Amino acid sequence: MKKPLVTIIDDALPEAQHRALKRAIVRLGSERIVAGYQTTFWFPLDAQPSNRVEQAVLSLAALLPAKHRRGVTGVEWWLSRMRTSNVKVDFHRDRDNARFDQTGEETHPKISSLLYLSDSRGGLLAVTREAPNPENQAFAPDVHDFDFVTPRPNRFTFFDGRLTHGVLDANNEIPGRRLPRERKWRLAIAVNFWAERPWGVPLFGASHHYRGLALRGAHGLNPRS
């Protein structure tokens, strides 16, 4: 039997913290829904959290085995909010996109991870060692040799940051055509653990986005009422 590519930890956060985090993200409404995957933030792990996501990140970091935490200086995080009837993220390998665009150098996080805030119809996370292929639908690899993760509330999953991954549609198939509109949102937070800060990724406090997540009094920020 091959070694699993993913590690799954259920009940990752205290239940009250998980509920409060989900509630705050739901209250953001449609803010940055379209640009969510381009709205990323850097959080040094030796800093004080300025928002509810960074509070959760500290708890999630403590769940990583010591060998995975070694050399990590901080995380890049963003919100993943989608309907599985219209998956807009292709299969990919996480990387420092700004560095790649400027130098052609491909650098990856040490660990890629997701904290799920909800379940969903379909929407399996598919992880593989196979390379994405831009010639295929949704850049899917030629060989479909996947480890799968089912979205469930308060489930934390992590894997090697060099691995290919993507999200299946509402029928748990490679995304292609848009399906009949799925009512529920698939809610998650992506957290990449890095040895070195990715180029151009701002601190939360330097952005005007997602003010509803801010902790009262943190770095002069106040949550939106």
Q: How many helices (H) and strands (E) does the chain have?
A: 4, 9
Return d(Cα 61, Cα 130) in angstroms, integer. Answer: 27
Residue 135 covered by a domain: yes
Residue 219 covered by a domain: no
Question: Residue 153: which CATH number?
Answer: 2.60.120.620
Burial of 144 (0-12, 13-18, 19+ CB in 10 A): exposed
Domain that holds residue 154: 38-204
Domain count, the chain: 1
Residue 10 covered by a domain: no
Concatenate the DSSP letters of all residues of 57-108 into one string.
Answer: HHHHHHHS-HHHHTT--EEEEEEEEE-TTS----SB----HHHHHHH-----
E strand or H helix that includes residue 26 = helix 15-26
Contact 36, 79 (CB under 8 A): yes
Predicted model pTM: 0.94
Residue 83 covered by a domain: yes
What single letter denotes the amino acid at residue 198?
A: P
Contact 61, 223 (CB under 8 A): no
Indicate the DSSP class of residue 56. H
Residue 12 covered by a domain: no
Residue 154 covered by a domain: yes
Contact 209, 197 (CB under 8 A): no
Burial of 208 (0-12, 13-18, 19+ CB in 10 A): exposed
pLDDT in tens for each of the 225 residues of the chain?
A: 789 999 999 999 999 999 999 999 999 999 999 999 999 999 999 999 999 999 999 999 999 999 999 999 999 999 999 999 999 999 999 999 999 999 999 999 999 999 999 999 999 999 999 999 999 999 999 999 999 999 999 999 999 999 999 999 999 999 998 999 999 999 999 999 999 999 999 999 999 999 999 998 765 454 443
Residue 159 covered by a domain: yes
Residue 216 covered by a domain: no
Alpha-carbon separation of residue 183 from 23, 42, 121, 171 (angstroms): 18, 31, 9, 14
